[in-house]
Structure 1
Amino acid sequence: MTPDTVLLDLAVLADFFGDSVREYESCTPELPPRCWAILLGRFVEDAMVVERVRFALNIRESDGTVLQEFQSTIIPLFGACYSNGRRGFWCEPKELLLITQEAEAEGLEVLGSIHLHPDWHRIGPPHERGLRVSQEPTPMDRHLFCGSGWPLNMILYLERREGRLYHSLGAWAPPPESGASCRPLAIRFFVHGR
C-alpha cells in the first residue's frame, strides 16, 4: 500500500512554483496555463520523501498516438475542453525512461508527478467558468493517476485574490480504478533550522 505521508522541503518545489506562476501570469482564456513535472525521491519507513523535481518534454500536441488517445478516449470521457492541446500533459516515453534510469543511478525513484490547477472559474473562458478546480483531482486527473500507477500525485492550485496569488497543495494516491476517488496523502513540510 502507498505510504500515507509525503515529506517535503518546499525549496525542492521552487522551480516548479516559479514556472507555475509564469504560466499563470501569461495565460489567456484560450491558452490555459500548464505546468507539469516528475517527482523524484525515495521511500522511508511509512513516507515518501520528495527530493527533486524534473521537468520533461510534453508531447501532448505533437505525437500522433497521443492526439488519437485524446480524440478517441479523453475528449469523449471528459469533454470538449480537452480538445485544446494545452489541456493535459503527456511525457515523451524515451525521456521518462532516461529520467527513471538517472534517478535509479542516484538511488532515487520516480514517485509520481505534480501539475498546476489555476482558478479557471475566474480566468477561463466564460463557458467554462462553472468548472471549479482546486488542489483536488478532477475526473481527468483520477483517470490519468490510475493509468500511471504512480504512488504520488500532487496538484498545486493557484488563485488570485485581491491582486495577490495564493496557493494550496494537495497530494493523492492513485485511485484503485478509473473514476474512483483518490486517497488524500498528508504533506509534512521540512522546517529549516530545527
Structure 2
Amino acid sequence: MTVLVSVPVSGKSALPVLFPDSVLRRFLDAAAAEYSRITPDEPRPCFAVLLGTVTPDATVVADLAFGRNARTTDPGARAEFATAIVPRFGSAYENPVRAWWFEPADLLRVARAAEARGLDVLGSIHLHPDWHRLGPDCERDRPLSERPTPMDEYVFRGAGWPLNVVCYLERRDGRFYYSLAAWDGDCAPLPFRAELGEA
C-alpha cells in the first residue's frame, strides 16, 4: 500500500487521513463493478460520501455511503452543468453519465444517519478510470490519474468538504490496479494512510 508523506499546508502540517481497509474494499468493489460497464459512450461514475471524525492528530474515515446520481434529474444540477460546467470544462460534460451530483435527499438522509452514529460527513471519494484507454479517440491524450481534474477542483472548492479522495483504477491483463490520493477543499494534497487489511 502506498503511503504519501505529510505535506505542509498553509505553514502547518496537514492532518493525515486514516482509511480503513474494509471501507476501501467496499468502494473498490463498487468502482470495479462500474468500471466493467464503461463503454466509449458511458464513463460510468462511482461516487460515495465519506463519514468519520476529525481528531487532534488525524482525519479518521469510519464508513462511506452511496447515493443516487441526480446529474440529470435535479433542476439545480441541470442548470449548473448547462450554465457553468459545460461552458467552462467542455462539451464532454454534456454526457449525462459523466460527473456526479449527489441526490440532495440522499445526502440529507446520509448526514442524519451519520449524526445519529456520532459521525460527520467528511467529504467524498470518486472513481477516475483509465478513460484515455476506454473512452473515445479524443480522450487518448488526456490521461486521468489520482490527481483532481480541473472539474474536480471546481467541485471540491464549491462543496467545501475538508476531504476529497480520488481513486484511479485501471485494468491490465485482466487485473485491476489502483492508486489513491487525498485532497482538501482547496485542492492541496493530504497525507493518506490506508489500513493494512488481514491477509
CA contact (8 A) 1:3 1:46 kept: no
Shift of 1:171: 0.5
CA contact (8 A) 1:152 1:172 kept: yes
1:62-118 residue CA offsets vs partner (Å, 9 max, x unmatched): 122211210110001101000001111111222212211211111100000000000
Counterpart residue number, 1:55: 66
Structure with bigger RCO (C-alpha 8 Å, 6+ apart): 2
Percent sequence identity is 47
CA contact (8 A) 1:42 1:49 kept: yes
Counterpart residue number, 2:4: none
| Structure 1 position 86 matched with structure 2 position 91 | no
CA contact (8 A) 2:165 2:180 kept: yes
Q: Secondary structure at the match of 2:99?
A: coil
TM-score of the superposition, structure 1-length normalised?
0.91
The one-letter amino acid paired with 1:96 is L
| Alpha-carbon distance in 1 for matches of 2:181, 2:76 | 30
Counterpart residue number, 1:187: 192
The one-letter amino acid paired with 1:145 is F
Shift of 1:3: 4.3
Shift of 1:190: 2.4
* Number of residue pairs the alignment of both structures matches: 187
Counterpart residue number, 1:98: 109
Counterpart residue number, 1:40: 51
Q: What are structure 2's unaligned runs of at least 5 residues?
A: 1-9
Structure 1 vs Structure 2 CA RMSD: 1.6
The one-letter amino acid paired with 1:101 is R
TM-score of the superposition, structure 2-length normalised?
0.89
The one-letter amino acid paired with 1:111 is L
Shift of 1:45: 1.6
| Deviant stretches of 4+, over 3 Å | none
| Alpha-carbon distance in 2 for matches of 1:192, 1:82 | 37
Counterpart residue number, 1:148: 159
Shift of 1:15: 1.9
